[in-house]
Every structure is written in structure tokens, then in C-alpha cells.
Structure 1
Amino acid sequence: MNRKTRLATALVAGGVLTVGAVTVTAPAIAGAGPFGRPTASTSWFGTGQGTAGNGMGTAAGNGMGSALRDGSCLSPSASVPSGTLSEQQKTTLASMAQEEKLAGDLYRAFADTYPAVVFDRIAAAEDQHLEAVRTLLARYGIGDPTADRPAGQFSDPAVQATYDRLLAEGSASQSAAFGVGQQVEQADIASLQQALTGLDAADVAQVYRHLLAASQHHLTAFTTWATR
């Protein structure tokens, strides 16, 4: 069964066909997260949701219930005003696009390899998240570092190295791939929390908060699947 057929079958079985009801990852900021030096709470460069019956329902079933219901309103609302970003905050926003692409490309690669539908769903979420970030990049006149880059290819050598390492790690087994998902989401949460500190631009803060909540749901989903 190919990936699209597997996903459709699982969604029909779980009765969840809502459009855009998926989740998020987060940005990497300079000096932390996957593209900078690791902190005590992140180890990027270290060594390295239906019913319980059908695997797609409530969070109590497998950690995907909440994840399937957030992420549908990620794009900044037109009613939320733009603000002013420092050069560091602009760098953070651009690196967020790289992080969304990295996560999406990883999860899609794992979805093509393993039968766990969690990879399909969260990979689809990353597409929405990247578009939300791109909306902000355009609004603030910041170049998109992911533009015209095929899956698994990145303009930044450090990002490329991180992707290659995590892909190799997750290719060892499905269990290892769940572990990679947990690493990504844990680092995302730490990065987003730091990115929100001192941020005055309301539209960017709105998106970051959505990404943070969704990344927490993703972590729950991967953790639950890893312990099944």
C-alpha cells in the first residue's frame, strides 16, 4: 500500500477527513535549535490522533487526537498588525522556514519508509506551517531561504548536515524515526519559547504561538507512538 493510499485508509477508518486540521513544528534561532550550538535542552549535534483501536482518535488513544485538530489557522490574521523586527528576529524568522522544511522533508521521507500514519499527518502539517512562515517573510521583505529547494536540499550547509544526520538516524528503524521526531519537536519548543521573548510584532507572535502549541502536540504524538 503506498503512502497516499495508507493515509486515506487510516483517515476514513478514523472518521477524520477535516481539511487543514494538522499540526506544527517550530523555528530554529541563531545560537540554539538545530542550526546553532546546542543548549542544555537541545541535542541536535549530539551523538546520536481517532481511537486507540484505529490509531487516529483521541489523545488518550495515541497522542494524535489534539494534533489533528490544531494548525488550521496558522497564517497571520489580517486583523493582527505588523510590527518591527530586529535583525536577529529577522534571522530567526528566516531560519524558521528552514526548520519547517527540514521537519516536513524528514517526516515525508519516513512516511515513504514506514507504515505509521503519524508521519504522513505531521508531514502534511509542515506544508501549512511553511506557508504561514512564508507569508510573514513576504510581509517583512525577508528572503525565503527555502525557495525552489527540492525535498532534502537546503541552502545552508549546517542545515543540510543536520538533515542528513537526522535522516540517517531515522532510517535505521521506525523506532529510531520516532526518536528523531521527538528530537525535532523538543528542540522546536525550546527555540520557539526563546523566539517569543522580547518579540513585539503581534503577527509574528501569533504564528509562533500557534507553532509552539502544535509542536507540543507533535511531541505528544511521537512519544505515544514510540511507546505503543
Structure 2
Amino acid sequence: MKTRTRIAVITAAGIVAAGAFATTFALANDSPAMHGPGAGRGSDPGAVTMPRGGPRDGGCLAVPAIVDPSGTLTEAQRTALAANAEEEKLAHDLYTEFANRYDLRVFDRIAASETAHLQAVRTLLSRYGIADPTADQAPGHFATPAVQATYDRLLAEGSAGQDAALEAGRTVETADIALLRESLDDLTAPDVQRVYDGLLTASQHHLAAFDRHLSR
């Protein structure tokens, strides 16, 4: 199924694919460890300082600098790039909120990582002349109604307790991995491929971190 005709709809049980792709998740940049939603917009994401720590506590390696040449994106791939920006914003905003509620460093670390991820995607949006759906959106607010509904639902689920918040994090990262793998299908643009590959590795680290906390 082409990415422009998919929606990732998150439920308590996981992810159900249906309808229009642009309604996946997202991340806004209000982590105290970084510089806010507009940090480095249009700058080289390789210059971003990632949080201390590593995969075991939710940190991850920096997303590679965008040094590869641009390519050609189909309309579906342009839609997917905007959807990935909203996913990164959703993840950041959700984890930041959970970090404020629960004494778990994993949420702080992953939220800070998501800040750099969004910056990289924003750089690509600018490079390809695609409108940024996360621009000027306050924490917890999203341009796409389905993304807003997903954030509100996951926030409510994660408010039930620390384990519920970790499960919400697992849901987000599982959906993120599926979205990135789908976004990579038939993609030929070298710069977008490199960023997606970096984001995919990061999401796998984040998912593993949530799994470790839930297994304790």
C-alpha cells in the first residue's frame, strides 16, 4: 500500500493501519536539555548536541549530518516526510510530559533525542520546499486532527501510572519503526535515506529502553 494512503492509528493494543498516511505522530521541541521547537531550523543537524548516555538509558547516537545530495521525492514521499515530522513532535511532547510526572530518566533522555530528530527532519522539509506541519505548534498541539487525537489518547493512557506511560512509549516507537520502514520503501533520495536510517536505529534503541524498564 502506498504511504500516502495510509494512516497509522494507535490503539491501546497497538497500531492499526487504515486510511490517509499523514496522520501518524509527532514531536515538539521543549526539552530543557535542548533549545526549543525552532532550534537549528535550517541548520546542519550534525551540529546538534545529543544528550549524554546511550541506548541502555534511552539515549542514542546523533542522527547523521545531512551531507548527501538531494534527490527526487514523489508526492507520497513528500507527504511521508511531513508525517515523520509530526511523529517526532508527538514523541517529544509525550515523553516530556511523562518526564514531568514520573521519576524516570528514560523519558528525559529520549525526549532530548527526539529534539535532534525533529531538527533533522525539518532540515529536509526546508531543503525540499515542504511545509512544516510542526511549525509554531505549542507543546501538545498538532496541525493534523488525527495526530492530535492520538497524542491525547496516549497521554490519557500514560497518565494511569508509570508502567502505562512506558507502554505508551512502546506504542509510539513501534509505530515510528513501522512508519520509517514504510517511508524507506522505493526511496532514492540519498539525504532522506540517511536521515531515515538514523531515525530507525534511534527508534529501535528507544523501544529497547522501554522494554528494559517494563521487564524490571
What TM-score do the two structures reach when normalised by structure 2?
0.77
| 1:66-107 Cα distance to aligned partner (Å, 9 max, x none) | x5341x234422xx1100000000000001110000000000
Q: 2:59 aligns with which of 65, 68, 73?
A: 68
Q: 2:81 aligns with which of 79, 93, 106?
A: 93
Q: 2:109 aligns with which of 91, 112, 121?
A: 121
Match of 1:38 in 2: 16
Q: 1:174 aligns with which of 146, 162, 165?
A: 162
Contact 1:29 1:195 in 2 (8 A): no
Shift of 1:187: 1.0
Match of 1:207 in 2: 195
Q: Secondary structure at the match of 1:112?
A: helix
Contact 2:59 2:206 in 1 (8 A): no
The change in CA–CA distance for 1:57 and 1:208 in structure 2 (over 3 A counts) is closer
Separation (CA, whole Å) in 2 of partners of 1:58 and 1:135: 24
Contact 1:74 1:211 in 2 (8 A): no
In the alignment, structure 2 segments of 5+ residues that lack a partner are 19-23, 25-51
Match of 2:95 in 1: 107
- Does residue 218 of the first structure (1) align with residue 215 of the second (2)? no
Separation (CA, whole Å) in 2 of partners of 1:75 and 1:34: 31
Separation (CA, whole Å) in 1 of partners of 2:60 and 2:146: 33
Match of 1:183 in 2: 171
| 1:31-86 Cα distance to aligned partner (Å, 9 max, x none) | 14348x8239xxx9xxxxxxxxxxx9776xxx32xx5341x234422xx1100000
Which residue identity is paired with 1:38? V
Shift of 1:194: 1.1
Q: 1:139 aligns with which of 127, 132, 150?
A: 127
Contact 2:63 2:199 in 1 (8 A): no
What TM-score do the two structures reach when normalised by structure 1?
0.73
The number of residue pairs the alignment matches comes to 178
Q: Secondary structure at the match of 1:33?
A: strand
The change in CA–CA distance for 1:133 and 1:34 in structure 2 (over 3 A counts) is farther
The change in CA–CA distance for 1:227 and 1:195 in structure 2 (over 3 A counts) is same
The change in CA–CA distance for 1:222 and 1:81 in structure 2 (over 3 A counts) is same
Which residue identity is paired with 1:147? A
The change in CA–CA distance for 1:75 and 1:165 in structure 2 (over 3 A counts) is farther
Match of 2:145 in 1: 157
Q: Secondary structure at the match of 1:165?
A: helix
| 1:152-198 Cα distance to aligned partner (Å, 9 max, x none) | 00111111000000000001100000000111111111111111110
| 1:108-128 Cα distance to aligned partner (Å, 9 max, x none) | 000000000000000001110
The alignment yields a C-alpha RMSD, in angstroms, of 2.2
Choose 1 or 2 for highest CA Rg. Answer: 1
Structure with the bigger percentage of strand: 2
Separation (CA, whole Å) in 2 of partners of 1:101 and 1:29: 19
Which residue identity is paired with 2:8? G
Separation (CA, whole Å) in 2 of partners of 1:217 and 1:171: 23
Percent identity, aligned pairs only? 54
Which structure's relative contact order is higher, taking Cα pairs within 8 Å and 6+ residues apart?
1
